[in-house]
Structure 1
Amino acid sequence: MSDVCLIVGAGDGTGAAVAHRFAREGFTICAARRNGDKLLPLIDGLKAQGHAAHGHALDARDEEQVVRLFAEIEGSIGPVGVCVFNVGGNVRIPIREMTREKYFKVWEMSALAGFLVCREAARVMVPRGRGTILMTGATASMRGGSGFAAFAGAKHALRALAQSMARELGPEGIHVAHLVVDGGIDSEAAHVRQPDRYARHGRAAFIDPEAIAEAYWHLHCQPRTAWTHEMDIRPAIETW
């Protein structure tokens, strides 16, 4: 029975690229997102290439759903060897227009959901003494931009979770790392959202999802004597 790579927040960009990268290395892929129907192209594509893949509808903010998903995977599919938390809700709202409901929704998508998913990953990995937990951060993990109070607060919290878990679980054999994705992900939608940037620099202005997936794979493969616990990724032209 091969190890499982569980990707929570398996969208069409980074999440899908990570799924394909780990599948090529023999992992069984379990991809989860709130709208399970949107996983069908990814799962069908992986299966067409001969990979084992499963799609799961999951609201990662719901503790019962998260606990149940891990129990299902561990009991019926295989041991979770890698857990990638890739959920995030990025909205730009001036602070004077921010409501409690909007702030809380953004916070629970990153901070609360990240805690629930990564806690369950730790619970199944620690008894085995091995495993990798990777959390996707953003520019907002490091600094709060104008209008991004909710997103920055949530991403700062996720980064703090990763730091705490890395220190606690490292001695148990669990590699926890936080990846700061500092830039836009390359996609047709990104080109439309930033037409001037795309016109000046082309695709070099955006981060290739497959390159991000390669970084995730590199982190998983690191020897225990030289673990990286935080990595930042950005295009060469990005101002930072």
Structure 2
Amino acid sequence: MQRATIAACVYDRSLDSDPFERDIMSDIPYRSALIIGAGPGISASLTRRLRAANIPVVIAARRVDKLASLVDETGAIALPVDASDAGEIDALFAETDARIGAPEIVIYNASGRARGPIAELDPVEVERAVAVSALGAFYTVQQAAKRMVPAGHGAILLTGATAGVKGFALSAPFAMGKFALRGLAQSAARELSPKGIHVAHFVIDGAVRADRSDASGTPDSTLDPEAIAQSYIDVLRQHRSAWSWEMELRPWVEKF
């Protein structure tokens, strides 16, 4: 597991009396994690890093059979969920509470897509896509807040995309969902940060490899999921006096 480099940073020693100073030097100041929308790529890399830090992790997806190898590798707990269903998100959090305790890290990676010309899109498919990307994220943030606000501690990380900053042709439902996700993150950060909950949104501006070996001969043109996971971990390590609410990640060859 790579570690963030902090030796070059200079910190005000007046923080010595601050009980949160431990956040500066500790690996990850949280004790349990729930990842929704788990699969290969970002979620798998995050699961490996969190488990390497001895943090219990629940990974949730519609099809848990696809998570079997990751469970075998990391010892994470896989649970089924339809992220677009508020009742299933509620049940997922309740089961997570029972398995590992209330999650102190909640990561939402689920998203829905429906591609095609606007005049030809099926409204039912559009509703489903937006429900997964946006409503599922709201249900998740709501359940996380119910647990984290009383504790005054926690982190909620939301995985966005280029489409949350600019909408592309033939991809209106994805843009709708990701724009809503970004708005949710910004609003939640303003409401929850003063209550001790770190909310951060990640703009993944480019294609992500399914795994580290999938570079297709052009490794600089796609995002390495391990590198993305490292950025998430770095945000989790941030001291509360300098929290980020948003981070953009892109390959260095990607055009802005």
TM-score, normalised via structure 1 length: 0.90
Percentage of matched positions with identical amino acids: 40
Are residues 1:39 and 2:67 paired? yes
Distance in 1 of aligned mates of 2:115 and 2:85 = 25
Distance in 2 of aligned mates of 1:77 and 1:191 = 33
Q: Any conservation in 2 of the 1:5–1:83 contact (CA below 8 Å)?
A: yes
Alpha-carbon offset, residue 91 of structure 1? 3.6
Q: 1:157 aligns to what?
A: 180
Distance in 2 of aligned mates of 1:235 and 1:90 = 23
Distance in 1 of aligned mates of 2:96 and 2:210 = 31
1:213–1:123 Cα change, 3 Å: same
Distance in 2 of aligned mates of 1:10 and 1:3 = 19
Greater alpha carbon shift after TM alignment, 62-71 vs 213-222 = 62-71
Q: Any conservation in 2 of the 1:3–1:79 contact (CA below 8 Å)?
A: no
Q: Any conservation in 2 of the 1:186–1:203 contact (CA below 8 Å)?
A: no
Structure 1 counterpart of 2:143, from 95, 120, 124: 120
Distance in 2 of aligned mates of 1:159 and 1:137 = 7
Structure 1 counterpart of 2:104, from 78, 81, 87: 81
Q: 2:44 aligns to what?
A: 16
Counterparts of 1:25-104 in structure 2, within 5 Å, are 25-47=53-75, 53-104=76-127
Q: 1:205 aligns to what?
A: 221
Greater alpha carbon shift after TM alignment, 64-73 vs 89-98 = 89-98
Q: Residue deviations 1:137-161, cap 9 Å, x none?
A: 0000000011111100110000000
Q: 1:229 aligns to what?
A: 245
Q: Any conservation in 1 of the 2:84–2:128 contact (CA below 8 Å)?
A: no
Alpha-carbon offset, residue 3 of structure 1? 2.2
Letter in 2 for 1:33: A
Q: Any conservation in 1 of the 2:114–2:125 contact (CA below 8 Å)?
A: no
Alpha-carbon offset, residue 73 of structure 1? 1.6
Q: Any conservation in 2 of the 1:20–1:46 contact (CA below 8 Å)?
A: yes
Distance in 2 of aligned mates of 1:108 and 1:67 = 15
Distance in 2 of aligned mates of 1:185 and 1:41 = 20
For structure 2, the 5+ residue unaligned runs are 1-29
Q: How many residues in Structure 1 have an aligned counterpart in Structure 2?
A: 226
Distance in 2 of aligned mates of 1:70 and 1:178 = 21
Letter in 2 for 1:5: A
Alpha-carbon offset, residue 76 of structure 1? 3.4
TM-score, normalised via structure 2 length: 0.85
Structure 2 counterpart of 1:173, from 196, 219, 222: 196
Q: Higher helix fraction: Structure 1 or Structure 2?
A: 1
Moved over 3 A (4+): none
Letter in 2 for 1:6: L
For structure 1, the 5+ residue unaligned runs are 48-52, 193-197
1:133–1:94 Cα change, 3 Å: same
Letter in 2 for 1:20: R
